[in-house]
Structure 1
Amino acid sequence: MMIKVGFLAVVILLNMGLLGCQNKETELSDKFDEETVKSEAMKAIELFNERDYEGICEMGTEEFKEILSVEGYQEQCDPFLDKRGAFKEIEKTVVMGSKDKKSGADYAGIVMVGAYEDGKIQFSIGFDEDMKLIQFLIK
């Protein structure tokens, strides 16, 4: 239970960092390659667009897999895809980092805005040092 609480705290902190301004505390750690972060995020978005939620789950850490099931993703994501239509392109990308002060673990975060036929979807995606998903949020 403590691992889940700690994991959720990291996800919340990473998300706050992703939404805030980039500064010294949100610089991407040298443990990450920015292009790798972008390409792995695009893989997750492609899986999302293909409605391959199992594939997204497989990209995640064990804690990530426990938070939301494939069926949970389907319930939450299908309406976005149904409403927005076909994917066109990524319009905006912001990459940043976060550090867990207690464990010292570094995380990479990326926000990507995707253009679709009938609107946009914002993706907030986070990775641990092993490039496993710790966060995949849409809005």
Structure 2
Amino acid sequence: MMKKKIIAIGLAVLMLLTVLSACSGGSASNQKLDPAFSEDTLKQSAEKVIDEWNSQEFDAIAAEVSENFKDKLNANVLKDAWNQTMPKLGEFRSIKQTETAPNNKSALVVAVAEYENGKAQFTIGFDQNMKIDNFFIK
């Protein structure tokens, strides 16, 4: 039963990865961010989402999700994903590094966060209205 739940949550999170593979092929510095985005604003927005994630404010994150993903990335999905990934990592320490990359007409922020017992890499996508259109943790 637990294995099925883990697979279901994994599949739900994978569905959110629209074109993640598009930015894994090369360094973010080789690609240009759409001028509609400010790198500083993207990084600040991603840090806010990570803070909300660490505080388990799933409704706050869900409120920032783009209309196209509201049915796939809601507070319940986020809570299940948190319960699967975060308890073993322990207390949040800091965000060690953030990078931005283009993703079609969206932008991705990849942030590495350090926790008491390890690290987590967040990939958070934003559309041009600064709504979340991609959310992945590994």
* TM range, smaller chain: 0.7 to 0.9
Shift of 1:63: 1.6
Structure 1 unaligned regions, length at least 5? 1-7, 100-105
Structure 2 unaligned regions, length at least 5? 1-14
User: In the alignment, is the contact (CA less than 8 A) between 2:28 and 2:100 conserved in 1?
Assistant: no
Equivalent residue letter for 1:108: A
**TM-score, scaled relative to structure 1:** 0.81
Question: Secondary structure in 1 aligned to 2:37?
Answer: coil
Aligned to 2:120: 121
Report whether the alignment pairs 1:53 with 2:58. Answer: yes
Moved over 4 A (4+): none
Aligned to 2:18: 12
Q: Distance in 2 between matches of 1:98 and 1:79?
A: 27
Aligned to 1:79: 84
Equivalent residue letter for 2:94: E
Aligned ranges 1:15-54 → 2 under 5 Å: 15-22=20-27, 26-54=31-59
Q: Distance in 1 between matches of 2:28 and 2:124?
A: 19
Which string of whole-angstrom CA distances, capped at 9 and with x for unpartnered residues, describes residues 63-95 of structure 1?
221113312211111232211011111112221
Q: Which moved more, 1:66-75 or 1:116-125?
A: 66-75
Aligned length: 124
Q: Which moved more, 1:44-53 or 1:76-85?
A: 76-85
User: In the alignment, is the contact (CA less than 8 A) between 2:65 and 2:73 conserved in 1?
Assistant: no
Residues 75, 30 of structure 1: alpha-carbon distance in 2 compared, 3 angstrom cutoff: same
**TM-score, scaled relative to structure 2:** 0.81
